[in-house]
Homo-oligomer: A and B are copies of this chain.
Amino acid sequence: MLKCQKCGKTYEKFRMLCECGGLLDVLVGFRESFESLLNEKYLDVRRYLNFLPINENFLPKLILPITPTVEKEIENVKVLFKLEYLMPSGSFKDRGSYVTIAKLKEEGIKEISLDSSGNAAISFALFGKAEGIKVHVFIPERTSEGKKRVLKLLGAEVHEIKGLRMDVHWKAREFKGAFYISHWYNPYFLEGTKIAAYEIFEQVGEVDYVLVPTGSGTLFLGLYKGFKELNNFGKVKMPKLIAVQAEGYESLCKRSKRKSKLAEGIAIPEPPRKEQMLKALKETKGFCISVGDREIDKAISDLISMGFLVEPTSAVVFAAFKKLLERDEFEKDSKVLLPLTGSSLKVI
């Protein structure tokens, strides 16, 4: 069931926004224990099916792996890199697509439109192709050529839009004839991304800090929700969430004058779920931190040296981690989770 954040109205059917314009949340209440819901026979995303509001008869055919978590000791801090880039389309967005596609199938929706700076578009295009769902993607004209090629290969109808990211957004919303599915609003998308928290819990137990690349907040709010559910199960304390943003596109901390060119995946100045994110930061005693291109560039090299082939946007979390390490932000032996969100293979 969906519930409006603003007026409280509830919906059974899939929709992006409430009639009043408010954002929707998925309500999931668990009456059973974590252990009884966990489906241990599966070694992939289906292990967590009982925590998801989807019907087993409409699962996407493409199955998501459980992404590995690599532990590294850096200056007395246990850094946990979660390899979200090892997803079928090369980014964590597949988690959101997986759940969304299941809902679309359940409701018989066959044509969708969305705006994306790239990864969400590739993910939906891939799942759409596999399920016979027609996908219209609206992307900024400046999107890298590699991503555009992949989209066309996947049979998506690509609409390249001149102008800012927000112009792309409005063009997609105005488009008629398809169900608009933007991950900026889509409440089911967060159900998909929350599963990363379940995996982390099974892999390493409790964590102290979670640094998340944060633009529209799909991973940030998904991880918040996942940890919150685990907390309700009595499994973990809430980690401190740290939203990592790019210079010039900060929505949760002070906007810089200089604009990042590298972190295209989070160059979203006005995310619709901003208030929800601020609340999550406050509740977990977290904060927002911003990084610039010089720091991102250095972080990319660092990550490659460790064997992680990730795209620039993914590197913001390591850039932020180093900044916070210098500030002595982390207690000795604390566990710091850094999800690595997107593969570099498609863009280099």
Chain A residues engaging chain B, CB cutoff 8 angstroms: 43-45, 61-70, 72, 83, 86-90, 126-127, 129-130, 146, 149-150, 153-154, 199, 202-203, 304-309, 343, 345-346, 348
Query: Taking the nearest CB of chain B, how far is it from the CB of A195, in angstroms?
Result: 13
Q: In the complex the two chains form, what is the Cα distance from A168 to B126 in whole Å? A: 37
Contact partners of A67 in chain B: CB under 8 A: 65
Contact partners of A343 in chain B: CB under 8 A: 345
Are the C-beta atoms of A83 and B72 separated by less than 8 Å? no
Are the C-beta atoms of A66 and B44 separated by less than 8 Å? yes
How many copies of this kind of chain does the complex include? 2
Q: In the complex the two chains form, what is the Cα distance from A308 to B348 in whole Å? A: 20
Query: Taking the nearest CB of chain B, how far is it from the CB of A123, in angstroms?
Result: 10
Given the known interface contacts A65-B65, A72-B61, the answer about A83 and B90 at a Cβ–Cβ threshold of 8 Å is no
Q: In the complex the two chains form, what is the Cα distance from A44 to B203 in whole Å? A: 9
Q: In the complex the two chains form, what is the Cα distance from A22 to B218 in whole Å? A: 56
Are the C-beta atoms of B348 and A307 separated by less than 8 Å? no
Q: In the complex the two chains form, what is the Cα distance from A83 to B66 in whole Å? A: 12
Interchain CB contact (< 8 A) of A88 among B45, B153, B309: B309
Q: In the complex the two chains form, what is the Cα distance from A203 to B42 in whole Å? A: 7
Most B CB contacts (10 A, CB to CB) among A64, A83, A89, A309 go to: A309
Are the C-beta atoms of B61 and A306 separated by less than 8 Å? yes
Q: In the complex the two chains form, what is the Cα distance from A119 to B70 in whole Å? A: 22
Contact partners of A199 in chain B: CB under 8 A: 43
Are the C-beta atoms of A126 and B70 separated by less than 8 Å? no
Query: Taking the nearest CB of chain B, how far is it from the CB of A71, in angstroms?
Result: 8
CB-CB nearest in chain B for A47: B43
Interchain CB contact (< 8 A) of A63 among B45, B69, B348: B69
**Can you add 20 more A-B contacts, CB < 8 Å, to A61-B306, A129-B304?**
A43-B199, A43-B202, A62-B306, A62-B308, A63-B83, A65-B66, A65-B68, A65-B83, A86-B88, A88-B307, A89-B309, A90-B345, A126-B307, A126-B309, A129-B305, A146-B348, A150-B348, A343-B345, A345-B345, A346-B346
